[in-house]
Amino acid sequence: MPVDPKDIRNKMKRSEVVNKLRMEKARDKLKRRMKTRKEEENNPELKEERLAANVPQTLETLREEDETLVAADDEEVFASEETDEFASYFNGTPPKILVTTSRRANPDTYEFANEFCTIFPDAQFVKRGPQFEVKKIVELAIGREYTDVIVINEDKKKPNAITVIHLPNGPTAHFKLSSVKLNKEIRGHGTVGAHKPELILNNFNTRLGHSIGRMFASLFPHVPEFKGRQVATFHNQRDFIFFRRHRYIFKDGKRCDLQELGPRFTLKLKWLQKGTFDTRYGDYEWIFKTAREVQNLPLSQWLMQSTQWSTLPFRPLAVPLQGRGSDEVHPISTTSAFLKNSLNVEDESRYANHFLRGDTLYGQNKIEYGLQAFSREHRSLVNIVRLGTGLSGHDRIGHGGFAAALLDSCFGTLFMLAAEGRYLGVTASLTVDYRAGMPVPADVCALAWIERVEGRKFYLKGELRSLPSGAEFQEPEQCDDGKIQLGSGSVLYTEARALFLSIESKQIEQLRK
């Protein structure tokens, strides 16, 4: 019987036994590898089977598939890009770039800004005065026919972010800046010439990636000067954008070396905004992490893994990317798609305007993201939503009218799912009781369930609660009446009771008239 080293009290003896077991394990592993190698030399098919079975798991293989990937021959995408904000550049307008920094920048930031300007042949660095806000800089730049403004921000006396503002109509992108290395810090670096560089954009394959890639492309001259042998590369991988600049060095006509010119840095997109810079009232198209943070909440994970719940994430901030330059796209399309998939109906347009969670309440500082789940067995609905400060009544306290509207909207969704699309419904009565102030911004959970059905009458109940997280989270329990118990760590903000009446489509038409 083998000896367990943990049972040996003597330290020296225990170390000796551990080392002996480790060596025996290494010898056995080597024998197995040699045996496998010999067998594969005699039968190459065994090696192919082993390699096919032992595919390593990487971040790239484990990441979720992005539904917004664009095919190389997608005519709809190319048609929308012909009329987007960057169309003027691709139609021949040369770039003219203004580069500046945050107020009272540190010398390290100025040094980076000066070297950053060498990347773009048409860039001009202007030291920023303390009286100039970004909005004022944008106005002045538009008046002087600049095509882009780039603001380099600093934190703790180091450059930490870059904001790119495309003029005159946007969009505006804000990037986190990291891993900065100036030319002098790169071993074996070359000297930057005045030639216009080539541009390489790698892996900008999604709708969001297309927008960012076109933004980067609009910063460079249309026709590179190949004589200078300089190339600038933006490589997108795992949501990071790596920038490098090199020069080709031809040796004997067959081989080619690369000499790095610098600077080198890494960007991470934090948000993309329609129009020019406006952090207070601007319309955000995409914000990093909002979706991922909501999906990683314990309750979200439980709902997505449960076989009794069908879930669909809302992506209100990303939806406008699907129709840039078009007024026909509605953020409500995700809600309609949920009903379409749940009810197996082809015509989702009939549900297009039934939800205040559409473009009315979606957006930055309002409903920034949501995850919806429906249980047909228990006739229950769960909505996890991230709320912004735009839904405040008093400062940092959620508006009571919004709470009522959100619960009523959830009741409508639940009614249609439970009715399986056979008929429509209207709210006959809604009673709302407020139990505690709802803080915003916050992640909250709207619960809705059907208490009973009497002919055309559907009696529903709902609650608006806080989300228990961390050690407070307990696996939700489903009561016999359909109610979902989130545990003692959840605070009840609002509860409501509603009566829905089922009506036919012709009655809706009469109401419209």
In tens, the pLDDT along 337-380 reads 555 555 454 554 444 444 445 556 666 667 776 778 888 888 88
Q: Read off the pLDDT of residues 199-210 as tens digits, 9 standing for 90 and up.
A: 999 999 888 888
Say which range, 177-181, 346-350, 471-475, has the weakest mean pLDDT.
Answer: 346-350
Q: Measured between alpha carbons, how far is residue 210 from residues 194, 201, 223 in Å? A: 28, 10, 20
Residue 397 has a CB neighbour count (10 Å cut-off) of 13
**Residue 172: per-residue pLDDT:** 94
Give me the mean pLDDT over the 158-167 stretch: 95
Q: Read off the pLDDT of residues 388-441 as tens digits, 9 standing for 90 and up.
A: 777 888 878 888 998 998 899 889 888 888 877 677 788 999 999 999 999 888
Give me the mean pLDDT over the 104-130 stretch: 93
**Residue 506: per-residue pLDDT:** 66
Q: Measured between alpha carbons, how far is residue 253 from residues 249, 250, 256, 257, 461 in Å? A: 10, 6, 8, 11, 77
Q: For 88, phi and psi rounded to 5 degrees?
A: -65, -40
Cα–Cα–Cα angle for 162, 163, 169, rounded to 5 degrees:
160
Confidence band for 19, pLDDT divided at 50, 70 and 90: very high
pLDDT over threshold 70, residue 493: yes
pLDDT over threshold 80, residue 444: yes
What is the C-alpha end-to-end distance of the chain, expressed in Å?
89
Strands 198-202 and 230-237: parallel
- Pick the closest to residue 325 from 117, 498, 77 (CA basis): 77
Query: What stretches of 388-454 adopt beta strand conformation (E)?
Result: 424-434, 442-454
Confidence band for 510, pLDDT divided at 50, 70 and 90: low
Q: Read off the pLDDT of residues 231-281 as tens digits, 9 standing for 90 and up.
A: 999 999 888 999 999 999 888 777 888 999 989 999 999 889 988 988 767
**Residue 367: per-residue pLDDT:** 77
In sequence order, what are the residues at sequence separation of 6 or more whose Cβ sits closer than 8 angstroms to the Cβ of residue 88? none
Q: Are residues 241 and 302 in contact, defined by beta-carbon separation less than 8 angstroms?
A: no
Instruction: Please give the share of the chain, as a percent, with pLDDT higher than 70.
Output: 82
Q: Read off the pLDDT of residues 40-97 as tens digits, 9 standing for 90 and up.
A: 999 989 888 888 888 887 766 766 666 667 776 777 777 888 888 898 898 889 999 9
Q: Are residues 336 and 352 in contact, defined by beta-carbon separation less than 8 angstroms?
A: yes
What is the second-level CATH architecture of the domain 81-273? 3-Layer(aba) Sandwich (3.40)
Q: Does domain 289-512 have CATH number 3.10.129.10?
A: yes
